[in-house]
């Protein structure tokens, strides 16, 4: 044991070498190297957790940097897991780091989860949250969950039985997934950079408490935090009545679960950048940017029309001559909603698309290619 490195923990009353040994033997998986995952990773590595896994298939973008402090400007366009591993190894080279440069899916989740004692969900979309929750419930893995938006954050611990014998999961809070676009994430609603730093650090604290047995983890309750008035409050979580939701009982059932967010009846085809490049070469293609006028980056070299979402309903009164219509926004969420509006008007008379991943993916594609 590196007693000098962990000295300030070792001398803590109620902690000592026994707790430090528990940390060194623990295996923690962090899903998502974003605003929540970055601070959680930094403190788990620094505290001496023996093995840490990191799952993320994304690359660093400029809009990440105000809250994801493992990354810098020179990292833009690079894989998050690669950069995170370099920085975390510099913090503590004694930790075993396992990286997975992929997104969590039904096909890989159970295999990855099985290698770890505790799971931290640092994702920011409902598909992943329900998938992670159900996988952890199936494997009986403790799950540390958090969510942030605007100026508020939430934190909870799931799949651990209380002294009274009750055990809850994310579906006891929200039994059914919301429809696509019903609840905005931080990419659409905005986030003050310091907020995920606070909540992500608290996720690490909950993991350390669970590993070492100190304190009282947030079992069967959710902690709510408001940054604007610095107020915390807890809400008890109770098990839902039987039949409220269904968790998969085996791997086969898990693989058959549908975690895709339900859209409105008209399904919009999401296209990638290569498909967009092919479409823009056609004469009868209209590209519409539904971002507000103040949003960056500017889309060079695309030929497009800017119709902000705030005035999009009035635009629907106009007739579009082009056969192909491509909608895009910052992250590909608002553009889906705009595309649905156009589908309601034109039905199958027009080919209507939404750019998957939005402008950020467009910019990263050309940055990495140059």
DSSP 86-152: HHHHHH-TTSEEEEE-S---TTTHHHHHTT-SEEEE---SHHHHHHHHHHHHHHT--EEEEEEEBTE
Q: How confident is the model at residue 266 (pLDDT cuts 50, 70, 90)?
A: very low
Res 365: pLDDT: 66
**Domain 269-368, second-level architecture:** 3-Layer(aba) Sandwich (3.40)
Active-site entry in 36, 160, 326, 329: 329
Question: Which residue has tokens 């993916």?
Answer: 361
Measured CA to CA, the distance from residue 83 to residue 71 in angstroms comes to 7
Res 227: pLDDT: 97
| 334 touches 324 (CB < 8 A) | no
Enumerate residues 6+ apart whose C-beta is below 8 A from 89.
95, 97
pLDDT at 183 over 80: no
| 340 touches 325 (CB < 8 A) | no
Res 361: pLDDT: 78
pLDDT at 33 over 70: yes
Residues facing 53 on adjacent strands: 29, 98
Phi (first) and psi of residue 280, to 5 degrees: -70, -15
- 292-330 b/e (C-beta count within 10 Å ≥ 16 → b): eeeeeeebeeeeeeebbbeebeebeeeebeeebbbbbbb
pLDDT at 288 over 50: yes
CATH assignment of 6-256?
Answer: 3.40.50.720
Measured CA to CA, the distance from residue 37 to residue 75 in angstroms comes to 17
Active-site entry in 59, 131, 186, 276: 186
pLDDT at 260 over 90: no
DSSP-derived pairing of the beta strands 51-55 and 118-121? unpaired
Highest mean pLDDT among 210-214, 234-238, 322-326, 344-348: 210-214
Mean pLDDT of 220-227: 96
Q: Which of 199-203, 206-210, 285-289 is predicted with the least confidence, judged by mean pLDDT?
A: 285-289
Q: How many CA atoms lie within 13 A of 170 on its CB side?
A: 27
Mean pLDDT of 255-259: 90
Q: Is 186 a catalytic residue?
A: yes
Res 187: pLDDT: 61
Res 354: pLDDT: 92
The full set of domain ranges for the chain reads: 6-256, 269-368
Residues facing 197 on adjacent strands: none
Using alpha carbons, list the distances in angstroms from residue 20 to 15, 25, 200. Answer: 7, 9, 21
Mean pLDDT of 228-253: 91
Mean pLDDT of 193-222: 97
């Amino acid at each position: 044991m590196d007693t000098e490195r962990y000295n300030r923990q070792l001398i803590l009353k109620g902690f000592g070498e026994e707790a430090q040994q528990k940390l060194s033997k623990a295996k923690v998986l962090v899903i998502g190297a974003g605003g929540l995952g970055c601070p959680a990773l930094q403190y788990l590595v620094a505290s001496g957790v023996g093995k840490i896994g990191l799952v993320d298939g994304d690359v660093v973008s400029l809009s990440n940097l105000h809250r994801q402090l493992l990354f810098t400007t020179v990292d833009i366009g690079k894989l998050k897991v690669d950069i995170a591993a370099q920085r975390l190894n510099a913090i503590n080279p004694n930790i075993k780091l396992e990286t997975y440069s992929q997104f969590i899916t039904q096909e890989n989740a159970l295999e990855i989860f099985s290698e770890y004692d505790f799971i931290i969900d640092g994702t920011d979309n409902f598909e992943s949250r329900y998938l992670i929750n159900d996988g952890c419930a199936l494997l009986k893995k403790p799950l540390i969950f958090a969510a942030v938006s605007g100026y508020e954050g939430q934190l909870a611990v799931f799949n651990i039985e209380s002294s009274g014998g009750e055990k809850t999961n994310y579906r006891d809070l929200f039994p059914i997934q919301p429809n696509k676009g019903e609840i905005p994430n931080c990419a659409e609603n905005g986030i003050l950079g310091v907020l995920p730093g606070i909540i992500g650090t608290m996720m690490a604290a909950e993991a350390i408490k669970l590993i070492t047995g100190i304190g009282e983890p947030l079992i069967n309750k959710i902690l709510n935090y408001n940054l604007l008035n610095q107020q915390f409050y807890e809400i008890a979580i109770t098990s839902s009545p039987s039949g409220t939701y269904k968790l998969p009982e085996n791997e086969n059932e898990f693989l058959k679960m549908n975690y895709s967010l339900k859209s409105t009846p008209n399904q919009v085809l999401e296209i990638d950048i290569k498909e967009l490049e092919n479409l823009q070469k056609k004469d009868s293609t209209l590209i519409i940017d539904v971002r507000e006028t103040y949003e960056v980056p500017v889309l060079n070299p695309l030929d497009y029309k800017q119709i902000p979402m705030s005035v999009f309903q009035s635009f629907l009164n106009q007739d579009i001559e082009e056969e192909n219509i491509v909608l895009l926004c910052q992250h590909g969420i608002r553009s889906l909603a705009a595309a649905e509006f156009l589908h309601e008007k034109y039905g199958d008379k027009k080919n209507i698309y939404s750019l998957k991943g939005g402008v950020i993916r467009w910019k990263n594609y050309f940055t990495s290619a140059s």
